[in-house]
């Protein structure tokens, strides 16, 4: 019997070594899903700003996976600045332009 760490030991005794392969398959699948779901921000003017300003509290996936009208983005941006996002007004305007143009509904 191969030496196995911690909680897996009981499972291995019960199911045999196959459980290791199943567990590895499970994690491989998780990683694949994470990669497939990772959303990239579209290229465009203002992308770097969004990466800089909007990634402070959460991943930019959250932004990249959202589609909204300009009006709705305006509300979201205001909400995020209310939560503590900071930049100059000019940068904020550019972020709104980027979102409205490249992540439009």
The site for ligand HEC (CB under 6 A) is made up of: 53-54, 56-58, 62-63, 66, 76-77, 79-80, 83-85, 95, 99
Select 6 or 84, whichever has its Cβ closest to ligand HEC.
Answer: 84
Helix (H), strand (E), coil (C) string for the chain: CCCCCCCHHHHHHHHCCHHHHHHHHHHHHHHHHHHHHCCCCCCCCCHHHHHHHCCCCCCCHHHHCCCECHHHHHHHHHHHHHHCCCCCHHHHHHHHHHHHHHCEC
Closest approach, Cβ 15 to ligand HEC, in A, equals 37
Select 12 or 77, whichever has its Cβ closest to ligand HEC.
Answer: 77
Select 12 or 41, whichever has its Cβ closest to ligand HEC.
Answer: 41
């Amino acid at each position: 019997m191969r030496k196995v760490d911690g909680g897996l030991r009981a499972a291995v005794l019960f199911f045999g070594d196959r459980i290791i392969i199943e567990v590895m398959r499970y994690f491989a699948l998780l990683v694949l899903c994470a990669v497939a779901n990772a959303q990239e921000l579209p290229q465009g003017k203002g992308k770097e700003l969004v990466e800089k300003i909007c990634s402070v509290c959460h991943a930019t996936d959250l932004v990249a996976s959202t589609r909204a009208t300009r009006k709705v983005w305006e509300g979201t941006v205001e909400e995020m600045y209310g939560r503590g996002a900071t930049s100059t007004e000019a940068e904020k305007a550019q972020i709104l332009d980027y979102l409205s143009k490249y992540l439009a509904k």
